[in-house]
Amino acid sequence: MRHDLRRLTNRAWLFRLLAAVVAFTAMVCTASACTVGVTGHRPSPPPGGPPRPPELDAASEVWPEATFTVPSSLGGEPTVQPVAILGANQVLMVAPLSTRPRFVTYDLRTGRHRVLATAPEWSDCDLCFEIRSVAVSETRITWTAGIYRSEPWNAGKRHVELWTMPRSGGRMRLVTWLTGHGDLPFHDELTVDEDQALWRDEARAYRIPLSGGKAMEVPFTTGMPPAPQPDPDLDDQVCGVEWCVGRVPPRAYELTTMVVRRRDGSGRVTVPASSGGPLIGDRFGLFGLPYVYGPGPVEIFSDGPESAAVLYDRCAGTSALVGAQGKKDRSHEITQGASVPGEPILFWMQQDEKRYTVLDLARVPDQPCGR
């Protein structure tokens, strides 16, 4: 009986230890969307050993005509970020942490910059005017702002507003409020179509005339592609207009892969990668780096944002490495620029934190690929 009690005690201790490992992993990985799976046995490695992830060239080597750098500070602005391309040599940048946030253009040829617009005087306080999502059209720059104005009637609560200005620069103009006091969604998206903006957060969507007028609530799925048919062979399938992306369930000692295919299942291509969302512009896939899946019994892998990633061009069937290699800091993550009529930019901080590398997807050589 004492032997049985010791065996049960040891087994209970083992289960507690396993639960603690899983709980700790869940706590640590909350921000990076980690997944924990438990398997019952440890499979044997293949005779020739596990496969090796492919060695990829940097995006600057694969697409040199689409890659350039811009400074991370300009003049008296200690922090600026690239947003979009306004012309052949003009980069739209924003100084979000200035006492009065402003939009500027940076000339790639001369290295000079010009202020396009500055937030109003009342924004000169901590987080009074926080730029969130930006969209650029042929004639206008439009954005959402988290607003906090220290007036007695607002009880110190923030809300979201829609602002716009001419693309060439000029006065910032308030279009409308988008939320009530105390309503500051964690995430929002903004697109502009001619003289109308479409805005959505996690639960609602509005269409707003930029000339002024009341925001009209529309179905949340407005402007979004229909849900795809499920594919039993793939996990986490997401789709754009015509093309879908899904993750192949990982197996021990195999290289993680993603599948790119049309909605009807045709054009199926397997890409060495580990995670990712829908194709950007139904063409470019921004995926996590591939790796060899471990043998268990406790499998822990991360689908969270990485400082280095794979950029896959569906048209050319080419992959390249993007991002600051060797950096795990969130400030070095790869960021997608503003919503624009064509493909957006991707940018990331260089290791010395003095400049950003910018990849203009619109400048990647176009190839007919059955869009």
Could you give the percent of the chain with pLDDT greater than 70? 80
Q: How confident is the model at residue 33 (pLDDT cuts 50, 70, 90)?
A: very low
pLDDT of 41 strictly over 70 = no
Cα dihedral across residues 345, 346, 351, 354: positive or negative: positive
Q: What is the DSSP string of 269-337?
A: EEEE-S-B-SPBTTTEEEEPPP-BPP--SEEEEE-S--SEEEEEETTTTEEEEEE-TT---GGGS-EE-
For residue 112, what are its two tokens?
A: 């000079």
Q: How confident is the model at residue 77 (pLDDT cuts 50, 70, 90)?
A: confident
CA angle 313, 314, 318 (to 5 degrees): 45
Query: What Cα–Cα distance (Å) separates residue 319 from each residue in 60, 113, 231, 258?
Result: 12, 33, 24, 13
Q: Provide the 3-class DSSP secondary structure of residue 352.
A: coil
What average pLDDT does range 194-206 have in this prediction? 91
- Specify the pLDDT at position 12: 37
- Look up tokens 């009637």; give the residue: 153
For residue 223, what are its two tokens?
A: 């402007």
Cα dihedral across residues 152, 158, 164, 168: positive or negative: positive
- Measured in residues, the chain has a length of 371
DSSP element (H, E) containing 18: helix 2-28
- 268-324 per-position pLDDT tens digit: 999 999 989 999 999 999 999 998 887 765 444 444 445 689 999 999 999 999 998
- Specify the pLDDT at position 52: 82
Q: How confident is the model at residue 200 (pLDDT cuts 50, 70, 90)?
A: very high
Among the ranges given (37-41, 177-181, 232-236), the one the predictor scored with the smallest mean pLDDT: 37-41
